[in-house]
């Protein structure tokens, strides 16, 4: 009954927001405010949050700290890593507070938390005392919930506003880390903090200089006031340099040695479902990525269009029950960069999957059949993409990353893009070619 009442209320209804806050208050009290016993780092922005959280965690661990982490992709409590199967970034207050308490019980001195605009608007982090707030970037996202970009930005601003009015912990200053290259960083600079650090490729006192981009990573110089280090980051793309700059600048703010920062960044592992390369011996590249906004999708495709020797093949879709205005925009972006397009189903939730596909199609200029196919079944779309791929092509499967299921209506159907790709690439098929002859092979491995 409670669910029925909530579903009929506007998400911004004062009663509904009060309900969210009440839950957060009870959760914080129940778990005895665990964030007061750690340095808590909150990372917000449209894109790059998960990777930035992972890079921060890598640096803190390299410096000898016990660290907890909560992200869209996974959770960490010291050495224990748990996949995030909630399909939420910032979790319910009870789950978040319980996890923070477990971190404290395991001796964590740092907690790295991915923070969404929804969470700030709904007070999900009430009682979580944030010490360091990091801003990555702002682009088109969540306008279905917030209504306008201004409201979206202001919701994220609540994280930075909390720095000044929340309780100071002994010997832990309140710090703000901002991406100076993003035009919206000016908005976040207005919030008072004990210290503010600006990073960027072109602006700020903490810069990434002379980047050299490769398919398997990026070299750049990390320059800080009075010092610099060379970094050979094993993650490709300008956006990952920006993520690394955010993490490194936070580490400098925490007085971590530059040599430790360099070592951690150069040994950084891939983040699940973020430009995750699937290699089963095929002669073409397969990338699975979480890109599901116009900005993240364009950055991903622009990078691989430059790095791909031959054709760029893209499998993607759009999410249901979310901002519909971005669907044709995503179609337009894929149309711009992809040689072959396979438009498919993402997480339709309660919407008609075919209707979602048709709305995305409005942004695609080519006719179906002309290097463009609509294949609602996501597994089949991936299969066709792999069957079409040839040597030196790149296949990108975008939108879901490391998610382990697909949401259709109220059902969660097991489906992991990475497992689907590996399943097809590892198959061995026997084919009869004559009365007494046969051959064995894999039709998805380019010859």
Segment 34-79, tens digit of pLDDT: 999 999 999 999 899 999 999 999 999 999 999 999 999 999 999 9
Model confidence, pTM: 0.88
**Structure confidence at residue 431 (pLDDT):** 42
Direct distance between the N- and C-terminal alpha carbons of the chain, in angstroms, rounded to an integer: 58
Q: CA distances (Å), 424 to each of 19, 209, 311, 344, in order?
A: 46, 41, 20, 18
Q: pLDDT tens digit string along 5-33?
A: 455 566 777 888 888 899 999 999 999 99
Cα 169 to Cα 176: distance, rounded to the nearest angstrom = 16
**Structure confidence at residue 33 (pLDDT):** 97
Instruction: Find all residues with CB under 8 Å of 266, minimum gap 6, and list them.
Output: 231, 232, 233, 234
**Structure confidence at residue 420 (pLDDT):** 97
Task: Domain ranges for the chain, please list them.
Answer: 2-266, 276-430
**Structure confidence at residue 26 (pLDDT):** 96
**Structure confidence at residue 413 (pLDDT):** 93
The answer to whether 384 touches 378, Cβ cutoff 8 Å, is no
Report the CATH fold assignment for 2-266.
3.40.1190
Cα 178 to Cα 242: distance, rounded to the nearest angstrom = 11
Report the CATH fold assignment for 276-430.
3.90.190
**Structure confidence at residue 433 (pLDDT):** 40
Tokens of 157: 């601003």
**Structure confidence at residue 141 (pLDDT):** 58
- Is the alpha carbon torsion for 229, 235, 236, 240 positive or negative? negative
Low-confidence residues of the chain, pLDDT below 70? 1-10, 87-90, 140-147, 428-441, 446-447
Angle at CA of residue 186, ends 182 and 192, nearest 5°: 130
**Structure confidence at residue 88 (pLDDT):** 64
**Structure confidence at residue 228 (pLDDT):** 97
Buried/exposed code over 101-134 (b: 16+ C-beta within 10 A; e: otherwise) = bbbbeeebebbbbbbbbbbbbbbbbbbbbbbbbb
């Amino acid at each position: 009954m409670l669910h029925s009442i909530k579903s009929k209320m506007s998400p911004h209804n004062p009663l509904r927001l009060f309900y969210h806050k009440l839950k957060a208050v009870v959760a914080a009290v129940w778990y005895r405010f665990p964030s007061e016993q750690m340095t808590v780092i909150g990372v917000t922005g449209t894109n790059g949050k998960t990777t930035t959280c992972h890079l921060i965690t890598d640096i803190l661990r390299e410096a000898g700290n016990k660290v907890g982490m909560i992200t869209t992709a996974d959770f960490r409590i010291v050495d224990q890593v748990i996949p995030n199967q909630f399909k939420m970034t910032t979790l319910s207050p009870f789950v978040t507070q319980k996890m923070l308490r477990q971190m404290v019980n395991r001796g964590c001195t740092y907690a790295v938390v991915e923070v969404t605009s929804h969470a700030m608007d709904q007070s999900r982090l009430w009682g979580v005392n944030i010490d360091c707030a990091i801003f990555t970037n702002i682009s088109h996202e969540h306008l279905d919930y917030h209504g306008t970009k201004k409201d979206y930005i202001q919701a994220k601003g609540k994280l930075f506003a909390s720095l000044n009015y929340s309780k100071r912990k002994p010997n832990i200053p309140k710090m703000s880390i901002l991406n100076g290259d993003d035009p919206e960083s000016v908005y976040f600079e207005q919030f008072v903090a004990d210290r503010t650090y600006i990073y960027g490729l072109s602006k700020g006192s903490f810069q990434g200089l002379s980047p050299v981009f490769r398919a398997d990573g990026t070299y750049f110089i990390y320059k800080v006031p009075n010092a610099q280090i060379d970094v050979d980051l094993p993650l490709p793309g300008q956006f990952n340099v920006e993520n690394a700059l955010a993490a490194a600048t936070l580490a400098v703010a925490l007085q971590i040695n530059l040599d430790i920062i360099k070592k951690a960044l150069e040994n950084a592992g891939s983040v699940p479902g973020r430009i995750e390369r699937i290699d089963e011996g095929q002669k073409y590249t397969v990338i699975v990525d979480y890109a599901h906004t116009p900005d993240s999708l364009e950055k991903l495709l622009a990078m691989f269009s430059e790095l791909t020797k031959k054709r760029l093949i893209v499998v993607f879709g759009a999410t249901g029950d979310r901002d519909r205005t971005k669907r044709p925009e995503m179609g337009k972006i894929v149309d711009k960069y992809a040689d072959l397009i396979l438009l498919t189903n993402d997480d339709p939730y309660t919407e008609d999957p075919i209707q979602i596909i048709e709305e995305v199609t409005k942004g695609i200029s080519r006719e179906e059949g002309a290097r463009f196919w609509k294949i609602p079944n996501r597994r089949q779309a991936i299969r066709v993409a792999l069957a079409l791929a040839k040597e030196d092509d790149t296949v990108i499967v975008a939108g879901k990353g490391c998610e382990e299921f697909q949401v259709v209506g109220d059902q969660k159907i097991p489906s992991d893009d990475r497992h689907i790709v590996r399943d097809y690439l590892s198959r061995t098929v026997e084919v009869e070619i004559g009365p007494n002859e046969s051959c064995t092979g894999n039709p998805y491995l380019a010859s």
